């Protein structure tokens, strides 16, 4: 038995050498068929947070991802690139208290064999703060003022208080929570849902906080002051526009004004409108812009000392249509050496426009033309172009809409005459 052990001991170096050589040959064979490759992991590697105390909140900036360089056989790289979650990066905050901590970024690789060569960043400084919560009353802050003659009553809120939560240092900065509403030139009650804003003692917004609720509905009553009243403007019109024309509209700017009287009864007795001085439109043919004075009752004034309004009068010609039969079709642009035959030779043209201009229109003021420029021999269907000497008139339709034009080449006979 001792002799056998002695022989084994003498053979042990040879056996170890043979094993190492065999292992080297296997590694070489594997490496040649599936070579190692060192590269940067291509997929975004977001940083996960684990173990965080629910009573603490992170107030420092955390990088969104980690870059890692890995070494692995090509077959493993194919698996790393396609398998979701094969490589993970996380920060373990277990057991950490409030304060600043340097925490290593751990990279976990579920596929083997893979070797991590490098990573960036290696660690991250994490600042933890205690999570605080506090209740604040909501204060309404108004911007601007109602229109002259109106007043704003006390607002009502759908919620009168708000709970703020977040990092303790940020919660301690909050001086109040505001709901801001704009009353500029308001003339009627406003109901509006607005976002709540937490501000510090200098009225600067405090960010990074959660507000519950984060918005509130405000009802702001707007009422008219005693002795003030809104009235519309009524334009007093005299006369008629010129014959052949019609009145399209009369508009006034502003359409309403606010009036005031030291005797509220006078304002209360107004009929709801204020008249202008008379506007004479007799014989008008064109649009008109004119300033007119207001006819105010004694003791009544317009807020803002406005005594005139702008009145715009729209005038348009009364339009109709006229049918002109047997308008000859003329030819233009026919190339030399060609002749053309038109069928039919005359057309009917229906023309529309102001009645006064239609009454002046004569048949000789209208031409129907077909342009044969660049056309060669052949048969064509062409829509004539209608030219009217009076620019305000326009052709509505043609009967027929197109004419047939046959273009042929002219030939010279032996007698010297030209025949088509």
Length of the chain: 420
Residues 6+ apart with CB under 8 A from 25: none
36-121 CATH: 2.170.120.30
Domain 228-317 CATH class label: mainly beta
One-character DSSP codes across 319-333: EEEEEEEEEEEEEE-
CB 285 within 8 A of CB 211: no
Residues 6+ apart with CB under 8 A from 402: 381, 382, 383, 384
Six token digits for residue 194: 């607005």
CA separation for the pair 284, 311 (Å, rounded): 15
CA separation for the pair 395, 322 (Å, rounded): 10
Fold classified for 131-224: RNA Polymerase Alpha Subunit; Chain A, domain 2 (2.170.120)
Fold classified for 319-409: RNA Polymerase Alpha Subunit; Chain A, domain 2 (2.170.120)
Q: Give the max Cα distance, the chain.
A: 147
Q: For 75, list phi and psi in degrees, rounded to 5.
A: -65, -35
pTM for the whole thing?
A: 0.51
CA separation for the pair 52, 95 (Å, rounded): 8
CB 259 within 8 A of CB 147: no
Six token digits for residue 322: 């006229």
One-character DSSP codes across 80-119: HHHSTTSEEEEEE-TT--SEEEEEE-EEEE-SSS-EEEEE
CB 129 within 8 A of CB 79: no
CA separation for the pair 347, 363 (Å, rounded): 12
Report pLDDT for 27: 55
Report pLDDT for 20: 74
Per-residue pLDDT of the chain (420 residues; tens, 9 = 90+): 676 666 666 666 766 776 677 666 555 555 555 677 888 888 878 999 999 998 898 888 899 899 999 988 888 888 888 888 889 999 999 989 999 999 999 999 888 888 889 999 999 999 999 999 999 999 999 999 888 788 888 899 999 999 999 999 899 999 999 999 999 888 888 999 999 999 999 999 999 899 999 999 999 988 877 788 888 888 989 988 888 888 888 899 988 888 888 888 888 888 888 889 999 999 888 899 999 999 888 888 888 777 889 999 998 888 888 888 888 999 999 888 888 999 888 988 899 888 888 888 888 889 999 999 888 888 888 899 999 998 888 888 888 888 889 989 876 544 444 445
Report pLDDT for 162: 95
Report pLDDT for 73: 85
CA separation for the pair 420, 410 (Å, rounded): 4
Q: How many angstroms separate the first and last alpha carbons of the chain?
A: 136
Task: Give Cα 251 to chain centroid, integer Å.
Answer: 32
Establish how many alpha carbons lie within 13 A of residue 420's alpha carbon, considering only the half-sphere containing its beta carbon: 8
CA separation for the pair 28, 174 (Å, rounded): 68
Report pLDDT for 92: 92
Find, among 77, 68, 87, 83, the residue nearest to 37 by Cα.
77
């Amino acid at each position: 038995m001792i002799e056998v052990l002695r022989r084994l001991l003498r053979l042990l170096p040879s056996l170890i050498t043979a094993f190492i050589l065999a292992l080297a040959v296997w590694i070489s064979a594997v490496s040649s068929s599936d070579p190692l490759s060192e590269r940067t992991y291509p997929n975004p590697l977001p940083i996960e947070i684990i173990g965080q105390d629910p009573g603490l909140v992170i107030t420092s900036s955390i990088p969104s991802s980690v870059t890692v360089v890995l070494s692995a056989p090509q077959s493993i790289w194919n698996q790393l690139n396609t398998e979701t979650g094969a490589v993970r990066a996380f920060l373990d905050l277990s057991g950490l208290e409030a304060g600043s901590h340097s925490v290593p970024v751990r990279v976990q690789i579920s596929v083997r064999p893979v070797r991590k060569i490098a990573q960036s960043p290696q660690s991250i400084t994490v600042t933890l703060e205690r999570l605080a919560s506090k209740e604040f009353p909501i204060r309404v802050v108004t911007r601007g003022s109602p229109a002259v003659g109106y007043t704003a009553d006390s607002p009502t809120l759908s919620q009168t208080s708000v709970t703020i939560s977040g990092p303790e240092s940020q919660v301690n900065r909050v001086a109040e929570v505001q709901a801001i509403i704009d009353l500029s030139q308001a003339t009627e009650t406003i109901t509006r849902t607005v976002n709540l804003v937490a501000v510090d003692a200098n009225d600067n917004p405090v960010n990074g906080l959660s507000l519950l609720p984060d918005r509130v509905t405000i009802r702001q009553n707007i009422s008219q002051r005693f002795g003030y009243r809104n009235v519309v403007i009524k334009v007093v019109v005299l006369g008629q526009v010129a014959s052949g024309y019609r009145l399209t509209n009369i508009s006034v700017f502003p359409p309403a004004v606010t009036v005031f009287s030291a005797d509220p009864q006078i304002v209360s007795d107004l009929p709801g409108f204020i008249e202008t001085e008379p506007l004479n439109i007799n014989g008008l043919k064109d649009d008109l812009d004119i300033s007119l004075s207001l006819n105010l009752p004694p003791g009544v004034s317009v807020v803002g000392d406005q005594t005139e309004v702008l009145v715009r009068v729209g005038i348009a010609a009364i339009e109709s249509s006229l049918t002109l039969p047997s308008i000859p079709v003329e030819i233009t642009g026919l190339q030399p050496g060609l002749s053309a035959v038109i069928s039919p030779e005359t057309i009917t043209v229906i023309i529309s426009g102001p009645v006064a201009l239609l009454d002046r229109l004569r048949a000789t003021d209208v031409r129907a033309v077909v342009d044969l420029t660049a056309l060669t021999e052949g048969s064509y269907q062409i829509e004539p172009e209608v030219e009217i000497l009076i620019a305000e008139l326009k052709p509505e339709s043609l009967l027929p809409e197109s004419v047939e034009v046959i273009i042929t080449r002219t030939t010279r006979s032996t007698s010297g005459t030209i025949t088509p």
